[in-house]
Structure 1
Amino acid sequence: MINVFVLQNGRLNQVHVDKLSDLEQLEPVWVDLTDPDDQERSWVKSIYGVILPGEDEVKDIEASARYYEAENGDLHLRTDFLLEEDAGPSRVVTVAFILARNMLFSVHNDDLPVFRLVRMRARSRPGSINDYMDVLLDLYATDAEYSADSLEGVYETLEDVSRRVLQKDFSDQDAAEALNEMARQEDLNGRIRRNMMDTRRAVSFLMRGRLLSADQFEEARQILRDIESLDGHTSFLFDKINFLMDATVGFININQNKIIKIFSVASVAFLPPTLIASIYGMNFKSWFPELDWSYGYPYALALMAVSAAAPLLYFRRRGWLR
């Protein structure tokens, strides 16, 4: 799908494109392609002379070559954007940016929430966009805000997990669910940190390349400050997740120790009756002990009950049965 945006009074207005002639009549400032097919790629190449990278070229590019200038003068950038999905785990989507002929071209396979937010905000804030570089900086600024919102979601989820972990009755099933949720939040927090690191590198590259005006340079510095402020939050969340994991594992060990304690108490309590039964059964000459001593069984059973009750009473007085 191809989305074409023209600049009108500082607003990004999307123009519907169905055929090649629609694209020829436009002077866009931003051409956004989501999972483009061969026909859409050929349209961009024939009209603007820009060769869009393929999916393999976007994913397989080395980290050291994410920003480069092509032979024809086009500037290529590769930037990661966070994508959270309700049906599955979060992931990072790599977007290919091409700066050519005072236009911004973006290629990605998924419809990213950051791009939707930029389109919505640009329509409601006249004068915020003046050229294609403003669009790119707005994407990076919105990416930082989206990551901050994701961190707030991690905070809320961990608070709920913390309440469950610190509740009075915490079963092994609750522990398994808490560990599963903490693992998901740790993965999301790590992806946010990676996403912020990549955005910082991209903005720093634009600043070093002297591609920005004075106002844009100041906006880029503000984006870097926002990203730097998020680093402390991600570090705190990593520490909080580690604490909750340690607490959960500790409660699991406590529950297991309770089970082991039951078997330990039972083995100690039934050891004296077993010894009495063994001694009683080995001190008769005939096949039937009742023939030698008619009160043998009642006496032995009473002695076994007393020998079992004595350690149980001792354990209870010491508080070991709680």
Structure 2
Amino acid sequence: MIRLYKIQEAQLKEIDVESFKDHLDEATWIDLYQPTEHEERLIENLLNINIPTRDEMHEIELSSRLYKRNNTVFTTFVMTTNVNTSTPESHAVTFVLHHKHLITIRYVDVAPFNACPTKLKSQKEDYRQGSSIFAWMLEEITDQLADILENIAHAIEKTSLEIFNSQNGVTVSQVNFKKILSAIGTYQNLLSKSQESLFGLTRVVSFIAGTSYFEGAYEHKSIQLTKQDLPPLIEHATFLSNKINFLLDATLGMINIEQNAIIKIFSVAAVVFLPPTLIASAYGMNFTAMPELHWSFGYPMALILMVLSAFLPYKFFKHKGWL
């Protein structure tokens, strides 16, 4: 699908796709969403550029993601999607600056793209060309990543309280550690994808800041602001990653403590009932010459010995604080 937008009266307005060939020079933003091969070839022929294929967009070499050809700037980085689900995803998105045009190639629905036409109407900045829209999108993507980190931080804090604090009479044995482990895995998955986006965004901003497309007042100011925001976000993401690792270790430690408590109960029970078992075994032997065998108090004495032999180890463990 091809969508074209032009800047008119400080607003971004969509151009009729049926007649876009005649108005291509007016287009400021050309959005290729899940483009077919025919649509890619059409734009390439009209603008005389080479659009990267989907496979080329996923190459991880820096030279394949950030490069410049004949004053046309190509940038590709990974964006995080499905952030509000348990299965967030990462998808490569390409931005091409060609003269006054911004060309975007994407194969997934991304929030900043959908919000762009509406949000730009409320902005008072002077948007003149595709680089202006690109600068605004970078700010919007940075804000989205900051929101993701904030949500992860709140979720981590809630999980931390659930692990370490027993609230409303809930004991450690009643905490659902399986659910907590699943939640920690979800946080880490989303955080790692967000970090990948932050690293890619940092490289893109550093690369395009030195190009002629961002020499305008708004473009320069916007890109410098984004450049300042990214390092603190990366540091915060690293902090959150360390905290998630700590919570994972703590959760596994709590599980081990709970398992050890269960094993301790069985161990104490085995030790407590071992002496009575020994006494019962001794008097259970069928030898003829056993003094207590025909004694009228033999049976009560055996019972008393078994009770005492079980009670004394129990009191000893209790005194030592092992129970």
Alignment check: 8 A CA contact 2:10 2:126 kept: yes
Instruction: Count matched residues.
Output: 317
User: Secondary structure at the residue paired with 1:60?
Assistant: coil
Deviations 1:11-38 (A, max 9, x none): 2112342x3x344234100001110123
Alignment check: 8 A CA contact 1:9 1:127 kept: no
* Further displaced range: 205-214 or 257-266: 205-214
Shift in alpha-carbon separation, 1:85–1:144, aligned structure 2, 3 A: closer
The alpha carbon displacement at 1:105 in A equals: 0.7
TM-score (norm 2): 0.89
Q: Which residue of 2 aligns with 1:3?
A: 3
User: Secondary structure at the residue paired with 1:270?
Assistant: helix
**Runs of 5+ in structure 1 lacking a partner?**
none
| Counterparts of 2:88 and 2:150, CA distance in 1 | 15
The alpha carbon displacement at 1:296 in A equals: 3.0
Q: Which of 288, 291, 307 in structure 2 is aligned with 1:285?
A: 288
| Counterparts of 2:174 and 2:33, CA distance in 1 | 45
Shift in alpha-carbon separation, 1:88–1:268, aligned structure 2, 3 A: closer
Q: Which residue of 2 aligns with 1:241?
A: 244
The alpha carbon displacement at 1:299 in A equals: 2.4
| Counterparts of 1:293 and 1:237, CA distance in 2 | 75
| Counterparts of 2:126 and 2:115, CA distance in 1 | 14
2:267 is equivalent to residue 264 of structure 1:
yes
| Counterparts of 1:164 and 1:240, CA distance in 2 | 15
Alignment check: 8 A CA contact 2:272 2:314 kept: yes
Q: Which of 99, 119, 131 in structure 1 is aligned with 2:117?
A: 119
Letter in 1 for 2:27: P
Q: CA RMSD in A?
A: 2.4
TM-score (norm 1): 0.89
Q: Which residue of 2 aligns with 1:65?
A: 64
Deviations 1:221-259 (A, max 9, x none): 211111112123112212221222222122112111111
Alignment check: 8 A CA contact 1:24 1:47 kept: no
| Counterparts of 1:289 and 1:47, CA distance in 2 | 113
Q: Which residue of 2 aligns with 1:145?
A: 143
Shift in alpha-carbon separation, 1:244–1:214, aligned structure 2, 3 A: same
2:16 is equivalent to residue 13 of structure 1:
no
1:156-305 equivalences in 2 (<5 Å)? 156-168=154-166, 169-171=171-173, 174-215=176-217, 216-282=219-285, 284-285=287-288, 292-305=294-307
| Counterparts of 2:22 and 2:60, CA distance in 1 | 31
User: Secondary structure at the residue paired with 1:97?
Assistant: strand
User: Secondary structure at the residue paired with 2:172?
Assistant: coil
Alignment check: 8 A CA contact 2:44 2:50 kept: yes
* Further displaced range: 215-224 or 276-285: 276-285
| Counterparts of 2:67 and 2:240, CA distance in 1 | 35
Alignment check: 8 A CA contact 2:5 2:13 kept: yes
| Counterparts of 1:257 and 1:102, CA distance in 2 | 67
Q: Identity across aligned pairs (percent)?
A: 32
| Counterparts of 2:130 and 2:293, CA distance in 1 | 108
2:108 is equivalent to residue 105 of structure 1:
no
Q: Which residue of 1 aligns with 2:48?
A: 49
The alpha carbon displacement at 1:153 in A equals: 0.9
Shift in alpha-carbon separation, 1:194–1:172, aligned structure 2, 3 A: farther
User: Secondary structure at the residue paired with 2:165?
Assistant: coil
**Runs of 5+ in structure 2 lacking a partner?**
none
Letter in 2 for 1:9: E
Alignment check: 8 A CA contact 1:11 1:127 kept: no
